[in-house]
Structure 1
Amino acid sequence: MTTTETPGMLRRILDYSSRADPYPLYAELRRTPVARQEDDTYVVSTYREITDLLHNPHLSSDVRNLSHPMAGAGDQTTPAFINLDPPEHDRLRRMAMRHFGPPHTPGLVTGMEPALTDTVSGLIDDCAGKKQIDIVDDFAYPFPVAVICHLLGVPREDEPRFRSWVNDLINAIDYDPKTDPQEKLDKGVQARKDLRQYLGGLLEQRHGGQGGDLLSRLANDDGPDGRMTDEEIISTANLLLIAGHETTVNLITNGMLTLLRHPQVLRRLRDEPDLVVPLVEELLRYEPPVHIIPWRAAYSDITVADTVIPKGSQIMLMLASGSRDPNRFHDPDRFDPDRRDNQHLGFGSGIHLCFGGPLARREAEIALTELVRRLDRPGLVADPPPYRRSPVLRGPIHLYVEQG
């Protein structure tokens, strides 16, 4: 299908009034797989076209390749590898993965399972006796922060400071200049500086040591690709913090919301704990934590669905729309934990496939299993719940649940 401008469609999707249920708008958007917007951004919304682009070497993740640079593009002197292209991306990702998962560190996630379970149990214990809890504030938000602190080697006594910085950073992501005070953005900028300085201090202590935490491993690695610079390690740690935290919070919260909307599945999970593995995969398709890759740049002219996207153009990939494409998934608007061939886009695809995906999956599996097992007849207080402002990292800002 050739490119067609769709005035107002993207604005409707991005508008906060659509946050609770953007899926009907995605269905309209899919009628034009590649849609050029008024500002010459190209929006891609169908599964096949998104997947092809995520594997296309002519698509760049480096903001510097856009014809019209984005605001703030030069703010970060050492971008995380998610914002780089090969060969720089491949080198840094390989170096990070050596200490984050198979084949070099195959037991990382399984080795953390006792700590994950203890953290989850402690958070649920803290909710005992409460008639109403907030799944976000009481559980889904603090859980991944504790996990990332453990992974990086942040001392337990520093966790409150770490959580405060994370809170300010996340709030700044949702900053809306039309409604929010400038202080919200300023606190996020300061938190980013303070966090980088703090991580730099931890890193200095790790050089020459033999610790098992991720910072120690990265600081002392002399693998085939050499050693990361301190700035590269700090950028990688920031990526793990922001991307890993937000995807996990949304995955757990969206998961609990979906289960409460499907009580028959909730009861089944309570009786069949092994169901949680395919259930989390279906959640990643049905209610994913990341809805949009807000930009990619075309290295050269690219033809997608009979549409020529000019070199340097900004491209938006609507991942959540692709995962509900009826040309790829049968009955895509139905939540089905028994779904087969579930090659969703919940963690992206291609060379930028989420490198923390295995950990996020296991966090969600343990969290949802324990919540369902231990909460006493949970029910939603409000449906839909209030959502965060972000259309990119989409999830409830609060999810109030009554017990008993």
Structure 2
Amino acid sequence: MPVSDTGPIPDTGPVPDDLLFAAVTDPANRADPYPLYARLRERPVSRQRDGSYVVSTQAAIRALIFDPRLSSEDLPPFKRPRTGNPLRDWIINPIRSRIATAHRPLIFRDPPDHDVLRAAVMGEFTIPRVQGLRDRVAREVDTLLDACRGRREICLVGDLSYPLPVSVICELLGVPESDEPRFQSWATQLATALEPDARRDVEARRHTVAAFDAISDYMRALIAEKRRHPADDMLSGLAAPGPGGKKRMSDFDLISTAILLLVAGHETTVNLITNAMLTLLRHPQELERLRADPERAPRLIEEVLRYEPPVHFRTRKALGAITVAGETIPKGAAVVLLFASANRDPARFAAPDRFDPDRPDIEHFGFGGGLHYCVGAPLARIEAEIALVALSRRLVAPRLMRDPPYRSGASLRGPEELRIAIDAVA
């Protein structure tokens, strides 16, 4: 039985309106949350039983997305668990927790801090640098698919859609290839920071803090190495002095930014590639059209970002009372921007539940929106485009073996594995 903060959700009959978002976060609904989104859109701004407000339509989200009264600084303060060591528990860890709280990743920061950090990142995350990765991505895709030759079955997540973006983001940042395997458990745990339930779970927060400390120690050492021996990578650029010899950001901000880029740089892309291939396998005529005409790939990806996006929602906090769609969100309330619901809003899209890459106007929140629009979106699009074209051309007679199990997260939603039967890898 699904459980919310206020107790079990009744499983006898329809879910009550004020427990709909609790049902969205229930893993039992991960495979198809869209009927719940349709019910939430009946009230564009819906107060839930836990006191949060879920915003679910295109118009309502657009009315809020740039509102300065909506804060991204909604993570609970860092709090490290007791160790039994008085010096660590009363002095060292409280100081470390205050530093980590004050220097959160930029997606959890408001202006002006957010704007300064984002500008530094965008100064390194340039279009020429991203475009320059096309050949590298294509080689990696071919290498991963070559490794599947001679098999009659592949797992897309393990064989391609996870290792590809991890390899690419590590090269972009300048993380040694030999260290890539260390990041999987760290990244998986840190991604739970986007899940409201995990934020309230004491044990989950304990694991998140441990993962953050481990990856922080790693990044601190790597940044020091980049300063000693700079290379042509993003981390070296961010660690280098700025104009006048001043630091582009504090070392604490640099560490949290590097962590964000590493985690977010592959988590969303894994879901984008996997969701896209799953959608194509369920719409084989579109897979055939892509095979015949690779130039369709960009439009197809934009429709996937609308139809099965990698990011389903983000949370915010109201800094003041905000009235939208006839509902007043009070100061201090938690707010959920339900992007995936807005992507299927019938007031914005004709036949929104139909997958149609030929839509004349594919406007979506697939990478979020507003000040926090995903900085890595251009790279994710390139990786997805190259991967999908190669999959359409090299997999011979691909068939979905079974509906996939989903990863635990409701915010970053995607299959945990995707098993595909094939006749061969061309």
TM-score, scaled to structure 2 = 0.85
Could you tell me which residue of structure 2 aligns to residue 328 of structure 1?
348
Could you tell me which residue of structure 2 aligns to residue 160 of structure 1?
181
Gaps of 5+ in 1: none
- Please list, as runs of the form range in 1=range in 2, the aligned pairs for 1:289-368 lying within 5 A after superposition: 289-293=310-314, 295-368=315-388
Q: CA RMSD in A?
A: 2.6
Does 2:399 match 1:375? Answer: no
Could you tell me which residue of structure 2 aligns to residue 31 of structure 1?
42
1:320–1:115 distance in 2 versus 1, CA, 3 Å: same
Could you tell me which residue of structure 1 aligns to residue 25 of structure 2?
14
1:246-273 per-position Cα deviation (integer Å, ceiling 9, x unaligned): 1000000000000000000000000100
Could you tell me which residue of structure 1 aligns to residue 116 of structure 2?
91
Q: 1:390 aligns with which of 390, 409, 422?
A: 409
SS at match of 2:133: helix
Distance in 1 of aligned mates of 2:65 and 2:192: 29
Alpha carbons 2:18, 2:47 under 8 Å: kept: no
1:71–1:195 distance in 2 versus 1, CA, 3 Å: closer
Could you tell me which residue of structure 2 aligns to residue 56 of structure 1?
67
The residue identity in structure 1 corresponding to 2:133 is: M
The residue identity in structure 2 corresponding to 1:250 is: N
Question: How many angstroms does 1:30 deviate by?
Answer: 0.3
Distance in 1 of aligned mates of 2:22 and 2:306: 23
Could you tell me which residue of structure 2 aligns to residue 124 of structure 1?
145
Does 2:255 match 1:234? Answer: yes
Could you tell me which residue of structure 1 aligns to residue 86 of structure 2?
none
TM-score, scaled to structure 1 = 0.89
Could you tell me which residue of structure 1 aligns to residue 52 of structure 2?
41
Question: How many angstroms does 1:172 deviate by?
Answer: 9.2
Alpha carbons 1:381, 1:402 under 8 Å: kept: yes
Could you tell me which residue of structure 1 aligns to residue 420 of structure 2?
401
Question: How many angstroms does 1:193 deviate by?
Answer: 2.1
Alpha carbons 2:400, 2:420 under 8 Å: kept: yes
Question: How many angstroms does 1:6 deviate by?
Answer: 2.2
SS at match of 2:409: coil
1:285-343 per-position Cα deviation (integer Å, ceiling 9, x unaligned): 000001111x2111111011111111111101110000000111111111111112211
Distance in 1 of aligned mates of 2:344 and 2:167: 33
Alpha carbons 2:306, 2:364 under 8 Å: kept: yes
Does 2:299 match 1:278? Answer: yes
Distance in 1 of aligned mates of 2:120 and 2:144: 33
Identity rate, percent: 49
Deviates more, 1:205-214 or 1:107-116: 205-214
Distance in 1 of aligned mates of 2:207 and 2:147: 29
Distance in 1 of aligned mates of 2:208 and 2:111: 30
Distance in 1 of aligned mates of 2:77 and 2:336: 13
Distance in 2 of aligned mates of 1:379 and 1:364: 19
Alpha carbons 1:208, 1:220 under 8 Å: kept: no
Gaps of 5+ in 2: 1-15, 80-96
Distance in 1 of aligned mates of 2:247 and 2:220: 20
Distance in 2 of aligned mates of 1:388 and 1:159: 20
1:153–1:134 distance in 2 versus 1, CA, 3 Å: same
1:170–1:86 distance in 2 versus 1, CA, 3 Å: closer
Does 2:300 match 1:248? Answer: no
Alignment length (residue pairs): 387
The residue identity in structure 2 corresponding to 1:256 is: M
Distance in 1 of aligned mates of 2:186 and 2:18: 39
